[in-house]
Amino acid sequence: PKNGLGWNIRTASEAVAQAFEAAVVRLINSTVDYAATDSVRRFGTGEEAFDDTTNPKIYSLAQCTPDMTATDCRSCLEDIVGRMVSGNFVESADCGDFFSRMGGRVFGVRCNFRFEVYPFFTGRSLLQLPGPSPSPAPTPPVIEIRERSKNKRSAVLPISVPTTILVFAIIAAWFCSRSWRRRLARKTLRPKNSPDEVQSFGSLVLDLQTIRTATDNFSEHKRLGEGGFGVVYKGDLPEGQEIAVKRLAQTSRQGIEELKTELLLVAKLNHNNLVRLIGVCLEENEKILAYEYMPNRSLDTILFDAERIKELDWGQRFKIINGIARGLQYLHEDSQLKIVHRDLKASNVLLDSAYNPKISDFGLAKIFERDQSQVITHRIAGTYGYMSPEYAMRGQYSIKSDVYSFGVLVLEIIAGRRNFGSYGSDHEVDLIYVTWEHWTSDKAIELIDPSLGNHYPVDKVLKCIHIGLLCVQPKPADRPLMSAVNAMLSSTGTVRLPSLSRPSFWFQEIGATASSGANSEQNPHNSRKMSQNEQPITELEPRWVM
């Protein structure tokens, strides 16, 4: 994969360089561990006191995409550190001793870390380390490179024994606290009156025996798929109705609150482009939701399959785009409740036998007051390839966050491939970036999925690309409402669409600024302003390694 490296041109003075390097290594180790063990966000920030009047503290941030496991997250971070130090990013002569720099960042496709001598993130540090002891033991080598399986290299960042003990103590305390909270949560999430609450839904309640009979006791041959939440089975009710049974695992991240949210919302919503809830069952500690059965499963199973994608001609793709847009307009503007979905993606769009789309999975959805414009949360949940910049970076979400996700979906449907950053993508370039480059070069037609051949109306496809780019504008205020999107989609003849600004990209090329006249005196921290999706990165001599 393509990885980037940026660093501050300033270095620690010779008098403190060795201590500074050791402190950076300790902090990175601890922050990596913290991020890897954060089961919700795979995110960690840290700070360490440093005995220097000019730079009294060092700050760090480590992050992986939330869908990664703890092991994968740690391995990803170790890998990019090891490859950076071993010279796989740049020649060592370019950056010298990386950890003696006063700041730097390395990022890969699914993980990144950064350190600075000033606070560059909002909020308190999640991890705080004390400074080095007055008489530290001789500092060990900053990094050791060890061979790993499949010829991969990992960076082993050794730290002093006292600091190791401290870090392990912090992590052990965190695990104990987390374990205690989980035990408490299990007691809280299974209140005695839960079945009574469900009974209030009357005809929506299904007894467990009916579900068992419908799925042949959750038989393997009835299994439709499996995810982090549990397993989905096909079921056949006695009256002949086909259903999809979503059986949440006991260890599912989708707890009782998310289930209640989905139950309450889907039961009250009624639109042709929203999946219909058939029933719910909470007997014997089971958490089961039953929906109308969609023969063509989810959009991603067709759109990203080399053979099945041929089933989708342009007419069907346009119908899917239209249907998703109408469903979102209903959620945002037309229903009695104003709802933000928060996890709109190809796998949450189901297709019936005629490829009509239905939006599903409302576990993360939020109800807004009619006069409420946005909410800020510290619990970032969703899928990175579809997240708007303001939500992923600052926890701010609104109906315009869903509009952004819709824009990504439109571009994916037209191009027939995933946006870079969404799970399972094997493409190394951001689809939004590629689309913008082609659009501004009058080559947008080259983006269209080759499986369509020449069987599509060029003007309508170009209009959809324009709408997709309009929906992924960096500022929420510049994205249209879904009612405006539907008006644009249904318009005939020549219609003047709003002008476009350059979108934000999760990963983009970083050109060296030295040649453009930037200099370190312009900013005390030697940084430049970068796009929201990119996250600020220490400069002045960044490198994007191709």
pLDDT in tens, 76-112: 888 877 665 554 444 333 444 555 677 777 877 788 8
CATH number of 3-179+512-545: 3.30.430.20
- In the chain, what are the domain boundaries? 3-179+512-545, 194-292, 307-490
**79 counts as catalytic:** no
Question: Which residues of the chain, if any, have pLDDT below 70?
Answer: 1-5, 7, 51-53, 82-100, 131-203, 227-228, 250-258, 370-374, 377-379, 420-429, 493-495, 504-546
pLDDT at 502: 84
H or E, element range at 180: helix 161-188
Instruction: Give CATH superfamily name and number for 307-490.
Output: Transferase(Phosphotransferase) domain 1 (1.10.510.10)
pLDDT in tens, 374-420: 677 666 777 878 999 888 888 888 999 999 999 999 999 999 999 86
Flag whether 287 is marked binding. no
Q: Is 353 exposed, middle or buried (0-12, 13-18, 19+ CB in 10 A)?
A: exposed
- Identity of the amino acid at 81: V
Query: Residue 229 to residues 194, 259, 289, 528, 543: CA-CA distances in angstroms?
Result: 20, 11, 12, 41, 40
Taking domain 194-292, whether its CATH number is 3.30.200.20 is answered by yes
Contacts of residue 310, Cβ cutoff 8 Å, sequence gap at least 6:
451
CA geometry: angle 141, 144, 145, nearest 5 deg = 155
Q: Which of 343, 361, 430, 449 is catalytic?
A: 343
3-state SS assignment for residue 27: helix
- Kindly report whether the global pTM for this prediction surpasses the value 0.75: no
pLDDT at 447: 93
Q: Closest Cα partner for 476 from 388, 370, 371?
A: 388
Contacts of residue 272, Cβ cutoff 8 Å, sequence gap at least 6:
323, 326, 356, 358
For every residue of 450-515, which 3-state class applies, written as one string? HHHCCCCCHHHHHHHHHHHHHHCCCCHHHCCCHHHHHHHHHCCCCCCCCCCCCCCCCCCCCCCCHH
